[in-house]
Chain A
Amino acid sequence: MKFDVIVIGGGLSAIMCGIALATNGKRVALMVKGQSKLNFNSGSIDLLGYDEQGNEVENPLDFIETLSPSHPYSKMGLANVVHNAAMAPVILEAAGLSFYGRSSERNHYRMTPMGLLRPSWLTLDDYVAIDSRKALSWNKVAVVSIHSFLDFPADFVASSFTSLGAQTELCEIKLGTVDKLTSNPTVMRSTAVAKLMQNDGVLNDFARKIRSKVDDADLVVLPAVFGLDGDDTIQKITKQIKTPVRFVSTLPPCIAGSRLLSKLRKRFVQNGGTFLLGSMVKNGKMAGDRLLSVQAKNFPDQDIVADHFVLATGSFMSGGLSSSSAGIKEPIFGLDVDYSDNIGEWSNESLFDAQPYMEFGVKTDNEFHALKDGRPIENLFAIGSILSGHNSLKLADDTGVAVMTALQVARQI
């Protein structure tokens, strides 16, 4: 098998890179192992939410040059960040994803499943996005919960709207068929409810009950259990509830993330991209400083050849990095990894302090060529969460780094 570019990974960075390359006429294949971290994404893309001192950032682009040199944004430089940040919404829009914040350089807040606010750059435009803690666009808000669905903690969401100054009512709706779900001993998850909503009877009943309970609210907040396969249920529910509707993400699996993923996948395929699903890449064949091919478990005895390779396998939780008490490795190519030899320095005592392991990752040069034995591999790039040099939880830049590095590397190729 031969391609122009092989991207290893199937998450946000891999697929954005794949789309950008395919759009430019490259023959691209994505070798995807399994699930993506997007299942934990509540429908937002964050460029930079906090500076390195932990202060909220109003305009992310103003702070790019304050970041430490190891940060992927510093590596590509401000001009490239600005360029890629302008490109990203265009690509997302073309995939059928419409975002709040796309026409502004300012951050807004997204509302988390626990009702807390996190600075964000782009938020799916049917999800709750708030410009300022002081001026809410809505006066009367109805927060809808679904009886016995525990993964949408509506009480916290309602408390949040109250403290933002809205008159808030909490209204619990009992789905007609919910008994069927709970008669199964496994827990009721967002995906199970979202599948239920694909049944018109259930959705109509749900909408009717909301209409009868909510009369004068100017916003109805719903748990994000709509839009699992396409926008069908979103259109139906927003049409049936006369009041404006916004979603707040549930606990994982997040429907918003899978919605992002499925639309981007579709776009990638439309542009001629190829998916090699279930691909567990084991290793690669090198010649000097070049990677010739990769080998995967599901293609035994085959070399998968390409001119360029992009590594987008994520961090520890996605399997892009592996650790043992002896150290940290990049398991496919044995690339150079930035980490501390002293295992005591990997983590901090408080869970919510900056954890040093969050900054561990593959070493690259400023063009994101992955390093092995101190030398850049000239046709292997690393993008997304596998990169070292920044704490994506503290800076709220995880999805931003994924998208920016994906587009940057695509342009370089």
Chain B
Amino acid sequence: MKGVGYPQSAGPAFEEQKTLVVKDLVKHFPGGRTGLGIGAPKQWVRAVDGVSFDIAPGETLGLVGESGCGKSTIAKLILRLEDPTSGSIRFQGREVTDLKGQELKTYRRSVQAVFQDPYSSLSPRMRVHDIIAEGLRVHTDYSKSDIRVRVNDVLTLAGLSPDVGRLYPHEFSGGQRQRIAIAKALVLDTKMLVLDEAVSALDVSIRAQIITLLKDLQQELGIAYLYIGHDLATVAHLANRVMVMYLGRLLELDESVEFVRDPKHPYTKALFAAALPSNPDDVSDTSEQPNAEVPTALSPPTGCHFHPRCPDAREHCSTQFPEEVTLSGGRRISCHLYPSR
């Protein structure tokens, strides 16, 4: 998939302005293997299949999609927890997909993550102080008192009292644990934060607090966020731009949150219609609801992956994957309803 909507003049200058530039990213996992579990896999799971996007400093890119659409795989690829099959990830103009050793360590100073489950993301056998200080101990030769000062700073930033450093994670609630996870992510000179469903596990009132905290921190520190979520209201609240994925492919990326009010792609429309309205009398239009089950990424439908569920599917939708088109306002979309010129 050639990035048609991608700025044609994407030279080095453009890339250096951006915190992160991802181009034609592909990740295939081996699917079922032959009898003995050795040899080449029979089929591949196309978790991410040619996705391009970028994130500017101080900006939040929202990434939404159903379970299994490749959202978390993208997070893992950016964090270098997985290696991409092909494609490029550039961080501040530098290619990061082939970093090793010391260079990879340097990259890890700048890119941190907050994960979904606050009960799994803090080591139960370490005190909060040590959990947060880990990055400093790995990357700097700070003295004990320097570390203490810095840890107390980030605890305060995350809205916690410095006294909590001596406690263990089990003494905290989910929201407080997520604050600790955020503090941990900020302890080094973080330039980008990958928030993989960072608030999905929290209850609604706590969720609002954490979202507000994240917004404040972004304003204060100018960090770029990649916010992954399936809660559209939260994404719309936090993100400057939103992108929608379906079965490993990018379907729609909008340059503004306008998107949420005016989805163009039939899948996006369906996704937004599926979200419950805040007022139960605002009955959503059920005609937009997709009927079939989500196909598996092991054997995605031919042509446009969405066509079996699409209310507007045409004949050629099942044979041809739509070219990506840039609409007015910078919105990128892959759908035959919006033909390329």
Are A and B subunits of one complex?
no
